Structure 1
Amino acid sequence: MNLPSNATLPSQLPTGSDPSPDAARPTLRHRILWTLLGIVLACAVVAGYALIYPERMPTAIGDKVEDLTGANAHPVTLLRPPVAPLSAAAVLGRDMFNDPSLSASGKQSCASCHSASHAFGPPNDLSVQLGGPHMTDAGYRPVPSLAYLYRQAPFSIGPDQGETDAAPVNLDVLASAAQGVQRAQKNAGVAPAAPAMVPQGGFFWDGRASTLQDQALGPMTNPVEMANPNVAAVADKLMHSKYVDTMKQLFGARVVNDPNLLVSEAMFAIGRYQFEDQAFHPFTSKYDAWLEGRARLSQAELHGLRLFNDQNKANCAGCHLSQPTSDGLPPLFTDTQYEALGVPRNHELPQNKDPKFYDMGVCGPFRTDMTKDTQYCGMFLTPTLRNSANRGVFFHNGVYHDLKHVMDFYNLRNTSPEKIYPHDASGKVLAYDDLPAKYHANIDVADAPFDRKLGDKPAMTDDDINDIIAFVKTLNDGYDSDRK
């Protein structure tokens, strides 16, 4: 920019000159020119930023505030569960949840594997936890978190069933009806279009428990967990517990006369604890604060969020829903459906030492009511991503122990499978090696980033992956917006 020939620069102004109109006029012109120069420089900076980071620039007017400042341009009010004192049943359930005397070893409680200080997930990065009568038996699968299950529906197939107290459905009939129905493709931020004829809801990796009460009983009688031989053994421990009198007061004196009823009421109490205690669903992450306009995301976090939601890139939100519901409920970061992802076999698991053993999720072997419904073999429950950045083990077989490896799997499974799977003696890549070949058709190859082919450019760069992980870290609870 050329200055006018008659412009007077600051160094040319006489010191001590009078602030006469004639003297003030060049100063005003000077300020205008420097303002214009500043605007030009600012535009140049933005243009340069756009050339270097085009993917981080706003794509619409509405994106401008959140992209350039990190604030949410459209804050919402999240409808969290009400905070209230625990009921007497929930207090009883809390005592049971933390009581190791209910296990065969006398050393393992629910809280041993579902640590409150680790989002009610495992307190270490072991692929599976140790349990059994002598605390020496390896579990079958990684311990999932018990957090954010308060909205989990009972297990079903296809569209939501609505009433949770309806008569039990015949899953074989539903599965047969779903034969031949094309699996719905996931779209970013929204549930699959109906008919979504896939399993959904339920607890455990295979959905075999439909209520928190059923889920609580599972580890009690699992031989490699709390290892009670049967329900009667659990009842006997309850009869000799410090809270047997409390159970009589809450459930009636005759509850101790029926072992099945006694155990049922005890598991109900544990379920109430998980449902009522806010610690299981606090919604105190940085992302929650950002949704409500109380936090700013960094440029890396914002870019990660955009990739997370992009149905042509990471497409994480296709299964890990990231938007609040229409009635203001915070996102759970799961659609509670089941997917066959084809993760590589974890050869560290004891049961996998047998080359003929396969954990096929919904269709067995630990779930036994859907073994004939082979279109679901290899499908496992999609877990919440809340607090996942603090986990030390991932997927149903615990094959990965950090988010970078998880993201590399999604990014490279189809484009560079040699980097994901083992090879045989001839060098052939053993893709999908943790599922029998006859069920490989169940594995998702339609949804991004799995829609890439061998040799294609991966959906994400390493920088993209780092930014996605940065965003996922904003899902960890415990963010204090007042101190940031």
Structure 2
Amino acid sequence: MLLRAVRGGLAALLMLAGAAGVAAGEPAPSGPVPAAAPEGAERQQTLQALGAALFDDVNLSQDRTQACSTCHMPDAGFVDARTLPATGGAVSLGDDGRSIGTRNAPPAAYARFSPRFHRRADGRYAGGQFLDGRADDLAAQALGPPLNPVEMALPDKAAAVARLRENPEYERSFRTLFADDIFDDEERAFAAMGAAIAAFEQTDEFAPFDSRYDRYLRGEETLTDQEELGRVLFFSNQFTNCSQCHRLNRQAADPRETFTDYSFHNIGVPANPALDAALGRPVADRGLADNPAVSDKAAAAGQFRVPGLRNVAVTGPYMHNGVFRDLRTVIAFYNKYNSRLAKRQINPETGAPWGPPEVADNLSLTELESGPALDDRRIDALVAFLRTLTDRRYEPLLPAAGSAAP
């Protein structure tokens, strides 16, 4: 894979740019995010290799302990597989070894398919990067963590560019790929870093579409009876409400399905007591309302972008605050809205009633309360189907069927 190849020899890969890159002295692309002009496959491959190196470089953090790949591990579904004891892995530990944020690190896999942040014709917001959509695209998203004080914690863009220039291979490749004078303007150089990382994140390493479900669609594998029941239930508008939000394409068998429509909803996720305790304060995450592009803050409070479901069985804990450890619990949580049974109002992970919503306003009750209640057989079938969405490389990470997350 590209990241492993870069770890083994970045200099050789970057030499490709000499023949395919922008000539010395040629003006760099204009705009806030310099993007690679379509100048051939070799140049794009070199830009991706540069992005892979940057993605894995701890020198882009203040204490040189954290890279993009620290919280988006390529061997763990591009999430943070480190377990911070105080929170059970709900959030990530920062570069300083002390700081933590308030949100679970979302997978970087398949992120390239999210459209730019926008408002749909029906008035609902959709798209963007981060759980609140505040970055329009991958390049803008990549520039957030290096300057976030609880993540990579560099003080400013100038510090980031100075770290880039410490590496002669970076300096040479930036000058070749963008412009010989790219480092004369810190804004342009910093934006170029985001463009390179985004180019890497757009490679098939992040989106191979090779899960058992994909192989089933291609006629290469057969689903079990339980998995097939789960598939039918998932895509049904009669028996579940899953595909109202976790479906991008109207054709159920679309080979590029990402299992999200990228819209924003408040589904009433309860607070995470472990996270509140670790932070020493209660968290009431306003989600979409904290996106600067959103004007109607009150109506957006508590909404988060619908996550994709590829690799969902190996990328827990779940929800924006990591409150649920097990995938089956997530389905049980949704089921509480449609079941009158007393046992369905109990969180199976705590043995206590489900906690109240972290933000009680703006619940998407129309979507949540559509569809019938599910029995255990159907809940288990949905879990079995969701397990088939695991990329081939991560199938060894799947917990034994029927086992709860630790």
> Which band: TM-score by shorter chain?
0.7 to 0.9
- The reply to whether residue 151 of structure 1 matches residue 151 of structure 2 is no
The equivalent position to 2:191 in structure 1, one of 264, 287, 290, is 264
Match of 1:388 among 312, 319, 324: 312
- Counterpart CA distance in 2 for 1:340 and 1:433 is 9
Change beyond 3 A, Cα 1:414–1:378: farther
* Deviation for aligned residue 1:335: 0.7
Q: Deviations over 1:80-104 (max 9, x none)?
A: xxxx775221111111001000101
Partner of 1:205: 131
Specify whether residues 340 and 136 from structure 1 end up closer, same or farther in structure 2 by C-alpha distance, changes over 3 A only: same
Query: Retained in 2: the 8 A contact 1:421–1:431?
Result: no
In 1: Cα distance, 2:206 partner to 2:242 partner = 23
Residue 20 of structure 2: aligned partner: none
The one of 356, 368, 385 equivalent to 1:432 is 356
Task: After TM superposition, list the pairs within 5 Å mapping 1:34-45 onto structure 2.
Answer: none
Alpha carbons of 1:326 and 1:318: their partners in 2 closer, same or farther (altered >3 Å)? closer
Residue aligning to 1:112:
70
Q: Which residue of 2 aligns with 1:97?
A: 55
CA contact (8 A) 2:102 2:275 kept: yes
Q: Which aligned pairs between 1:452-471 and structure 2 lie closer than 5 A?
A: 459-471=373-385
> Could you list the runs of 4 or more consecutive aligned residues of structure 1 that deviate by over 3 angstroms after TM superposition?
322-329, 350-353, 413-418, 420-423, 429-433
Q: TM-score, normalised by structure 2?
A: 0.78
The 3 A distance-change label for structure 1 pair 348 and 148 is same
Partner amino acid, structure 1, of 2:119: I
SS in 2 for 1:468: helix
How far the C-alpha of 1:328 sits from its partner, in A, is 5.6
Q: Distance in 1 between matches of 2:221 and 2:249?
A: 16
CA contact (8 A) 1:334 1:382 kept: yes
CA contact (8 A) 2:217 2:255 kept: no
* Structure 2 Cα separation of the partners of residues 233 and 325 of structure 1: 48
Deviation of the 1:118 alpha carbon: 1.6
> Does the 8 Å contact 1:286/1:479 carry over to 2?
no
For structure 2, which runs of at least 5 residues remain unmatched after alignment? 1-40, 84-88, 395-406
| In 1, Cα distance between equivalents of 2:260 and 2:213 | 15
The one-letter code matched in structure 2 to 1:467 is A
Match for residue 365 of structure 2? Answer: 445
Which amino acid in structure 2 is aligned with residue 115 of structure 1?
M
Residue 421 of structure 1: how far off its partner (Å): 11
Q: Is the 8 A contact 1:323 1:331 kept in 2?
A: yes
The 1:322–1:204 alpha-carbon spacing in structure 2 relative to 1, beyond 3 Å, is closer
Cα separation, 2, equivalents of 1:281 and 1:148: 5
* Partner SS state of residue 271, structure 2: coil
Which aligned pairs between 1:359-378 and structure 2 lie closer than 5 A?
359-364=285-290, 367-370=291-294, 372-378=296-302
**Of 207, 229, 238, which residue of structure 1 is paired with 2:164?**
238
The structural deviation recorded for 1:315 is 2.1
Computed over aligned residues only, the root mean square deviation of the Cα atoms, in angstroms, reads 2.7
How many angstroms apart in 1 are the aligned matches of 2:144 and 2:137?
11
The alignment status of 1:250 with 2:177, answered yes or no, reads yes
The CA deviation string for residues 234-275 of structure 1, in whole angstroms up to 9 with x for no partner, is 111112124112111222221111111111111111111111
Q: 1:304, 1:464 within 8 Å by CA — same for their partners in 2?
A: yes
CA separation of 1:421/1:230 partners in 2, compared to 1, >3 Å: closer, same or farther?
A: farther
Q: Which residue of 2 aligns with 1:346?
A: 272
Give the C-alpha shift of residue 310 in structure 1: 2.3
Within-5 A mapping of 1:37-436: 87-124=45-82, 126-132=89-95, 134-159=96-121, 196-242=122-168, 243-275=170-202, 277-321=203-247, 330-350=256-276, 353-355=280-282, 357-364=283-290, 367-370=291-294, 372-413=296-337, 415=339, 416=342, 418-420=345-347, 432-435=356-359
Do 2:338 and 2:373's aligned partners in 1 also have CA atoms closer than 8 Å? no
- Over 3 Å counting, the alpha-carbon distance change for 1:118 and 1:312 in structure 2 is same
Amino acid in structure 2 at the alignment position of 1:155: F
CA 1:129–1:326 in 2, change beyond 3 Å: closer, same or farther? closer
Matches of 1:471 and 1:327, distance apart in 2: 14
Q: Please say if residues 90 and 273 of structure 1, whose CA atoms lie closer than 8 Å, have aligned partners that are also in contact.
A: yes
1:139-177 Cα distance to aligned partner (Å, 9 max, x none)? 221111111122221101123xxxxxxxxxxxxxxxxxx
State the distance in 2 between where 1:397 and 1:464 align.
26
Does the Cα contact within 8 Å between 2:347 and 2:354 map onto a contact in 1? no
Q: Given the two structures, how large is their TM-score scaled by the length of structure 1? A: 0.66
Distance 2:251 2:354 in 1: 41
Contact 1:324 1:330 in 2 (8 A): no
Deviation (angstroms), 1:461: 1.0
Q: What is the CA–CA distance in structure 1 between the aligned matches of 2:73 and 2:182, rounded to whole Å?
A: 30
Which letter maps to 1:445?
Answer: L
For the 8 Å contact 2:329–2:348, the answer to whether it is kept is: no
Change (3 A) 1:241 1:234: same
Structure 1 unpaired stretches of 5+: 1-83, 160-195, 453-457
Q: Specify the SS of the correspondent of 1:138.
A: coil
Contact 1:93 1:271 in 2 (8 A): yes
Please give the alpha-carbon distance, in whole angstroms, between the structure 1 residues aligned to 2:118 and 2:288: 11
**Do the aligned partners of 2:240 and 2:370 also contact (CA within 8 Å) in 1?**
no
Residue aligned with 2:273, SS? coil
Give the whole-Å Cα distance in 1 for the aligned partners of 2:354 and 2:383.
28
Q: Is the 8 A contact 1:422 1:430 kept in 2?
A: no
